[in-house]
Structure 1
Amino acid sequence: MPPFATTDFKAEKLFDVTGWVAVVTGGGTGLGLMTASALLANGAARVYITGRREDVLQQAVKSHGHGPGINGELIPIVSDVTQKDDIERMVATIRQKESYVNLVVNNASVGGVKNDFATKTTVEEISQSLFSSTFETWNQILHLNSTSMYFVAVAFLPLLVAAKGPFPHTGSILNVSSMSGITKQSQGGQFAYNAAKAATISLTQQMAFEFRGPPLGIRVNTLAPGYFPSEMTQESSFPSDPEEVRSKKGVPMGRLGSPTDYAQAILSLAVNAYMTGSVVLIDGGWLLQQS
């Protein structure tokens, strides 16, 4: 057994990302901002947050980019990851300043569109309700939750590989999927979103397989969250009574996930050099309730 000291297992060592450079798409709000903040709080030197709205990114830097013990930088880059030219410009901008990247978090996402087909009473009504969605809607949701993640990930491969040398390991990729990509139900008819998040998981596993060995050796994992406070899940509209959460939302733990819950999962996937191709579910037991 390799030698170790008990002090090696202190949390500040286990989750230490001192000197890291990270990129978080959709990093100005919600889960993306939680991710960026967790990395910054644990020693990251620079965390680049991307998004389409400059004012949102600037507010994120103002509210979370500074504080006691925070020595790194939260750096905003206005970029639309659904556009290949924007992805290239984003990578070029970072490459001008950085010689490596330790972590790329594909977090940018768009919510699903519900469909009330289950309230219809005839086959014709059900068919018409389901057929009323558009190719444009499906394409937008699939594009952001799978296609854009592919292009962002592969564009950063050289910088991720370059992390080995300054650090013991190459950089890694973390794609944010959802419990919605695992469940067999449509959750109120949001077929496009659930299919897109399932695609995120499939993409992650394919990348993990293809990138596993030389000359890349890059880990790729996915985090599948349930209900967390975000632009898609407004805390104010979520039941506050635990029993109501259990009965109406199907979450056995009776609450929304917290930023702390999320940060713990993010850091574990970021630093654990033995994890790749993993799908980590963090949903308060929601999927257990549905089985």
Structure 2
Amino acid sequence: MGKLDGKIALITGGSDGIGFATAQRFLNEGAAHVFITGRRQDALDEAVKKLNSKKITAIQGDTSNLTDLDRLYDVIKKEKSRLDILFANAGVFEFGPLDSLSEQHYDKLFDINVKGVLFTVQKALPIFADGGSIIINGSVVSIKGFPNNSVYCATKAAVRSFARCWAVDLKERKIRVNALSPGPIGTSVFKNIASSEEEKKIQENLATLTVLGRLGTPDEIAKVAVFLASDDSSYVTGIELFVDGGAGQV
């Protein structure tokens, strides 16, 4: 018996990194079906190939695009009729020095990291099962200040607030809402914004911020996502659960 036996789950941003690792964990824990989304069809195709399961469906789309979200939920409703678990994981990261911030930078991060989360959750509600679990991917930056990151940090503080408010909004339906906030994790997040040498230096610097002295792995976040998705956390709602190697705690 797996912890998620019979559950129908959606993971946004599921083609790589934390989302992909969580999809693998959900399948291993007996989820009846897992839907994943992503903006790049080629990355989704590769993820489905690696997951190698008839219980996985990939749907291309941008969570900040409401038409894409409507299409996503139309597919889920048609194929499975309901959702039990939602991991609102899709997000983007970019450095943004205060003295050179642009409107484009602000709009991009808030559209995907905040607007996308808001409407991903809102549009799921008509098919979301009472007693289900909503998990929002936050970040340790919601409680700490980092140089050249003010807009990104603000987006993660916003979604942490969503978790508090929605836990109250959805309490009559017994839907639990929690924020899962990673610290520095070894993913491909810096590959598109830094050279290989710069990426290595960034990761080394981030590792020094943790008590454990290393980056976390996507699977270490996925294990906690399973906890929040399952009945193991049946008395947990409205929290921000840090999985950060101590980076924001001491």
> Do the two structures share a fold, i.e. TM-score over 0.5?
yes
Larger radius of gyration: 1
Q: CA deviation at 1:238?
A: 4.3
Task: Indicate yes or no: 2:206 matched with 1:212.
Answer: no
Tell me the percent identity.
30
Tell whether 2:134 aligns with 1:134: no
| Counterpart in the other structure of 2:114 | 146
Q: Does 1:276 align with 2:233?
A: no
- Unmatched 5+ stretches in structure 1: 1-12, 67-71, 116-129, 165-169
Partner of 1:104: 86
Residue identity opposite 1:181 in structure 2: S
**What secondary structure does 2:174 align onto?**
coil
The correspondence for 2:150, drawn from 186, 191, 199, is 191
| Partner Cα separation in structure 2 for residue 281 and residue 65 of structure 1 | 31
Which position in structure 1 is the counterpart of 2:5? 18
Query: What TM-score, normalized by structure 1, do the two folds share?
Result: 0.78
Q: Mean Cα displacement is larger for which, 24-33 or 228-237? A: 228-237
CA contact (8 A) 1:245 1:251 kept: no
Q: After the TM superposition, which residues 75-90 of structure 1 pair with which residues of structure 2 at under 5 Å, given as runs?
A: 75-90=57-72
Q: Which residue does 2:210 correspond to in 1?
A: 251
On the 8 A contact 1:219/1:275 being kept in 2, the answer is yes
Cα contact 1:146–1:203 (8 A) shared by 2:
no
Which one scores higher on RCO, CA 8 angstroms, separation ≥ 6?
2
Match of 1:288 in 2: 249
What secondary structure sits across from 1:109 in the alignment? coil
Render the CA deviation track for 1:82-111: whole Å, top value 9, x for unaligned. 111111111011110112211011000000
Report the TM-score, using the length of structure 2 for normalisation. Answer: 0.90
Higher alpha-carbon deviation: 41-50 or 254-263: 254-263
Q: Return the letter of the residue paired with 1:177.
A: G
> Residue type of the partner of 2:181?
A
Q: Superposition pairs for residues 220-235 of structure 1, below 5 Å?
A: 220-233=177-190
Measure, in 1, the Cα distance between the counterparts of 2:74 and 2:241: 31
Map Cα deviations across residues 119-143 of structure 1 (whole Å, 9 max, x no partner). Answer: xxxxxxxxxxx34211121111012
**Which residue pairs with 1:9 in the alignment?**
none
Any stretches of 5+ residues in structure 2 without a counterpart?
A: none
Aligned pair partner of 1:267 in 226, 231, 235: 226
Aligned partners of 1:110, 1:77: CA distance in 2, in Å? 18
| TM-fit CA distance, 1:45 | 1.5
